[in-house]
Amino acid sequence: MKRVVHPFVQWLTGCCLALSLLWVQGFADDYVLAMLEKVRQRYGEEAYQNVQRLNELFNQAASASEMGKITLVNDFTNQHVKFVDDSNLWGMEDYWATPLETFGRGAGDCEDFSIAKYTLLKRLGVPQDKLRMTYVRARMPSGNIRAHMVVAYYPTPSSDPLILDNLHFDLQPASLRSDLAPVFSFNDKGLFVANNPNQRAGSSTNISKWRDVLTRMRQDGLE
């Protein structure tokens, strides 16, 4: 027997769908909306549904303090991106992904985690002068040393920075991370020496992979 749907139920269902679309389009940040459309085109409906969680992040961050934004972005990225190395994810040894690619795939390595966190924090209004993507030598539990990237947040220029890391999810000051030895750091404004975020060592455009990430982000309308 064919099921008959009452006209009122049809109307109510339509209203709910319309309200849902209005919520996504009316309350989401423009950055999220642009990313959502690109993700749907490139990675499909399932990825689109997953990336909609960014709406929740931006809504929560709207009334959060700067420190609250740091915590929200660090937790969100660590929870919603799975660590996968470049050879398995991209079929190459060292690929720096844009946030669109990282959240679209739901996976990335340490550079991808750091780029995504840095970009989201910039979008949420945290000044670039307080943020550094920092290359470190990380001592693993096995005792091995490997190249690693984190984001360092400096509340003031002379602060002991907080480290946003995908190896250790809890935010900790750099002074407590004896397992990390800084090599150099950078942001959009420059390249900096290892232990002094105020001493410029050159232009960040000298880092070719970062320059390529910015180019791809601009091509996607996300920078």
> Which residues, including other chains, have CB under 8 Å from residue 73's CB and lie 6 or more apart?
57, 61, 117, 120, 121, 124, 164
The second-level CATH assignment, the architecture, of 65-219 is Roll (3.10)
H or E segment and range at residue 139: strand 131-139
What value does the mean pLDDT of the chain take?
86
* 73-86: pLDDT as tens digits: 999 999 999 999 99
* 117-143: pLDDT as tens digits: 999 999 999 999 999 999 999 999 898
- 3-state secondary structure (DSSP) of residue 148: strand
pTM: 0.85
Nearest CA to 182 among 174, 191, 190? 174
Q: Determine contact, residues 66/89, Cβ cutoff 8 Å.
A: no
* 156-213: pLDDT as tens digits: 988 999 999 999 999 999 999 999 999 999 999 889 987 777 777 778 877 899 999 9
Rounded Cα distance, 87 and 44, in Å: 22
The dihedrals phi and psi of 159, each to the nearest 5 degrees, come to -70, 150
* 22-45: pLDDT as tens digits: 343 444 578 888 899 899 999 999
